[in-house]
């Protein structure tokens, strides 16, 4: 359990990540169904995360915005945090159900183990445990009783003093060897996880090098990979509609939402440029007559930036205004107003190459 001080008058919890990892903090936070805001700070990084109904729904970091911030949880390996109940985000940019993440992370760990097992000839036992010694993942050869006993003995001996030397970074590993077998314990500080592995002496160096140089870095990367895979919004095409007229915005968003797309609506060109950076949409729907920043200027700015230049822009034009709009380009493709919901969906599917 994450320990924190409670300020009842403000409805807040404040604390410091020490023995707990960021993943454990989120796992505890995610249990609440109420809207929750989590603020974190570690070194030069500052993060803002929002939760609702057991899922992450928004994220922003000092160095990252939108989806990438949500996949960057391990940047906060320590530091202080503040939890505020009942606070909703200004906009939602991800949808990460924690059980989806946990399942995906197990799959990523399994792939790492299985790919390595093909290179081994002898027996092998592997355990990944959290700071409270709860098992995260396990792999063992069915004929490995001696390996398991040796590994348990080494782990129990280290656990008696809380693996102080490993946790403090004073030692890289704990290793015990006999003539034919060995056991080793490693610690991953960003995850607050222990690795316990045992194998045959003839493959000792192969196993230890794999843990040091492949499994540990890849297990950290697997967190971001799994968060990305668990993001349900990333699995659906996201559409940003820059439409100043509320009635037209509703005419666009309702059928697209019903067709399975995620639609964000904003009212002017300036907000459209900002939200493009936040949401990284798959498609931009742009009304040709915008306030603050014109549609041609929005289009040109998007195409000048590497991160947005490949986003297709479908520009909506009133009947008879197409030539005027095309004279000062403001879209990759143009659609005349009025249009039917069926025509809009078909046009969007064609642009996104969806069947």
Average pLDDT over residues 50-56: 92
Q: Which of 347, 343, 341, 352 is nearest to 257 (CA)?
A: 341
Q: Is the pLDDT of residue 172 over 70?
A: yes
CB atoms within 10 A of CB 138: 13
Average pLDDT over residues 318-335: 79
Q: Is the pLDDT of residue 325 over 90?
A: no
What are the structure tokens assigned to 209, written together?
């090098």
Q: What is this structure's pTM?
A: 0.70
Each residue of 187-197: b (16+ CB within 10 Å) or e? bbebbbbbbbb
Q: Is the pLDDT of residue 9 over 70?
A: no
Q: How confident is the model at residue 6 (pLDDT cuts 50, 70, 90)?
A: low
Q: Which of 230, 208, 233, 231 is nearest to 107 (CA)?
A: 230
Q: How confident is the model at residue 3 (pLDDT cuts 50, 70, 90)?
A: low
pLDDT of 195-228, one tens digit each?
999 999 999 999 999 999 999 999 999 999 999 8
Euclidean distance between CA atoms 216 and 191, whole angstroms: 10
Decide: helix, strand or coil at residue 313: strand
DSSP, residue by residue, 53-89: TTEEEEEEESS-BTHHHHT-GGG-SSEEEEEEETPPP
- Domains of the chain (ranges, CATH numbers): 5-94 (no CATH), 99-230 (3.30.450.30), 238-351 (3.40.50.2300)
Average pLDDT over residues 88-95: 85
Question: Which pLDDT value is given to residue 355?
Answer: 37
Q: Is the pLDDT of residue 354 over 70?
A: no
Question: Which pLDDT value is given to residue 55?
Answer: 92
């Amino acid at each position: 359990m994450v320990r924190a001080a409670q300020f009842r008058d403000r409805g807040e919890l404040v604390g410091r990540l020490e023995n707990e990892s960021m993943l454990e903090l989120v796992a505890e936070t995610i249990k609440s169904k109420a809207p929750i805001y989590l603020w974190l700070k570690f070194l030069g990084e500052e993060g803002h995360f929002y939760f609702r109904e057991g899922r992450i729904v928004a994220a922003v970091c000092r160095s990252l915005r939108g989806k990438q911030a949500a996949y960057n949880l391990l940047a906060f390996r320590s530091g202080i945090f503040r939890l505020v109940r009942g606070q909703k985000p200004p906009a939602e940019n991800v949808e990460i159900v924690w059980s989806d993440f946990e399942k995906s992370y197990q799959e990523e760990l399994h792939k790492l183990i299985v790919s390595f097992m093909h290179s081994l000839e002898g027996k092998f036992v592997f355990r990944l445990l959290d700071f409270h010694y709860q098992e995260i993942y396990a792999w063992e050869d069915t004929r490995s009783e001696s390996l398991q006993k040796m590994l348990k003995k080494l782990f129990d001996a280290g656990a008696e003093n809380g693996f102080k030397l490993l946790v403090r970074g004073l030692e890289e590993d704990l290793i015990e060897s006999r003539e034919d077998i060995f056991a080793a314990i490693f610690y991953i500080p960003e995850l607050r996880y222990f690795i316990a592995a045992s194998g045959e002496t003839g493959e000792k160096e192969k196993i230890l090098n794999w843990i040091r140089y492949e499994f540990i870095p890849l297990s950290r990367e697997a967190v971001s990979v799994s968060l990305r895979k668990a993001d349900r919004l990333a699995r659906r095409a996201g559409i940003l509609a820059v439409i100043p007229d509320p009635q037209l915005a509703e005419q666009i968003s309702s059928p697209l939402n019903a067709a399975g797309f995620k639609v964000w609506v904003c009212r002017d060109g300036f907000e459209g440029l900002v939200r493009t950076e936040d949401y990284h949409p798959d498609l931009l729907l742009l009304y040709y007559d915008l306030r603050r920043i014109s549609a041609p200027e929005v289009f040109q700015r998007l195409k000048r930036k590497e991160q947005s230049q490949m986003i297709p822009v479908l520009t909506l034009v009133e009947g008879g205004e197409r030539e005027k709009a095309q004279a000062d380009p403001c879209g990759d493709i143009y659609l005349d107003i009025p249009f039917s919901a069926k025509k809009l969906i078909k046009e969007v599917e064609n642009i996104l190459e969806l069947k």
